[in-house]
Amino acid sequence: MPAATDVPVTEVGTRVYTVPTDAPEGDGTLTWDSTTMVLVRLTGGGHTGIGWTYGPPAAAEVIRGELAELVRGRSCLDVQSGYHAMVAAVRNAGRPGLVSLAIAAVDTAWWDLRARVLGLPLHRLLGAERTAPVRVYGSGGFTTYDDNQLARQCEEWLELGVSYAKIKIGESWGANPARDLARMRLARQALGEDVELFVDANGAFTPKQATRLAATAEDLGVTWFEEPVTSDDLDGLRRVRDHVRPDVTAGEYGYDLTYFERMCAAGAVDCLQVDVSRCGGITEWQRIAAVAAAHHLPVSAHCAPALHLAAAAATPHLRHVEYFHDHVRIESRFFAGPVTAHDGALHPGDDPGNGLEFRESDAESYRVG
């Protein structure tokens, strides 16, 4: 049998799946009724690696038209060089946004393939010293929920044993702060005093609006204020950070290393959020985590909990992983493996690669294109 370094990637496959939400959903600046997964499978040496992103079906066209031929024929082990080749090839297509989602799906699949070829759990290949639980926080609490829906979801998070839970605020671009406060109080009551309350405005407020809201809600003990203003306004984030008690966080819309360096250097956040399904995959995640460490900042994984698990487990300054309602519904339905939290954490397994098995028959009814 040839050495692992001689095993080429022979197939690059993509599939698109769109899953309706279980209720209307919205945050401070957007509403939606479905979530789309773009799945990538890389095959080589008798193994198949799985990766994905959440975004428009057009990401699959980027993979087929711009990336697949670059990947096919390269060694299953040469993830980093393959990643940089993909980034170089899309210069004129534009790296941020859709193209970065496509790269992320391929990169995460490639890392999974590499670990499977080597017969190693992916979190061990990435440097995790041991199989330890990775803390999660409950995430949902959409602005479209009524009081009963919000209270019920808080109860579900408590059943998972979480120590932190996050709801959406900033309804209608910050136009209804009275309802924001009422929902925050309801969540605090439902969660009790032992669970940290997080809020996410998705950039709905101005700096002064965000500061006033945080002051009014100070008795609720909020410890995490995500995107109080748009993450494009680094100075605005820093000004809010300077005037509120909760940690100010952002970064989910970062697509490359330079974006995160600017955010860190601006003193804009207390915790850097990184999304492996958007930033370009595990290869870029590792570089971003190093930048955060150089600025003495912790890292939190944004959404896609099953996809993040291995990289999160190998990140020493990780704070937690977002256990986002939509993505948990999809990942627990589509995959067998370490996808469900218990005791407030996800638990990496000992199987090679990311430990996930794609349930194609369960996903088929959601396939599009």
- Residue tagged 């534009």 (tokens): 94
Count the neighbouring beta carbons within 10 Å of the beta carbon of residue 150: 20
Q: What was the pLDDT predicted at 36?
A: 98
Q: Is the pLDDT of residue 6 over 90?
A: no
pLDDT digits (tens, 9 = 90+) for 63-121: 999 999 999 999 999 999 999 999 999 999 999 999 999 999 999 999 999 999 999 99
pLDDT digits (tens, 9 = 90+) for 270-293: 999 999 999 999 999 999 999 999
CA-based Rg of the chain, rounded to a whole angstrom? 20
Summarize the confidence of residues 243-248 as an average pLDDT: 98
Give Cβ neighbours of residue 135 (< 8 Å, ≥ 6 apart): 163, 164, 319, 320, 321, 344, 345
Question: Residues 338, 41, 330, 272: is their CA dihedral positive or negative?
Answer: positive
Give Cβ neighbours of residue 104 (< 8 Å, ≥ 6 apart): 51, 53, 276, 277, 278, 279, 280, 281, 284
Domains of the chain: 8-120+361-368 (3.30.390.10), 124-359 (3.20.20.120)
Residue 136 forms beta bridges with which residues? 321
Q: What was the pLDDT predicted at 2?
A: 46
pLDDT digits (tens, 9 = 90+) for 312-344: 999 999 999 999 999 999 999 999 998 999 999
Q: Is the pLDDT of residue 296 over 90?
A: yes
The pTM of this model reads: 0.96
pLDDT digits (tens, 9 = 90+) for 117-156: 999 999 999 999 667 899 999 999 999 999 999 999 999 9
CB 134 within 8 A of CB 309: yes
Q: What was the pLDDT predicted at 1?
A: 41
Angular region, 45: left φ>0, alpha ψ -120 to 50, beta rest: left
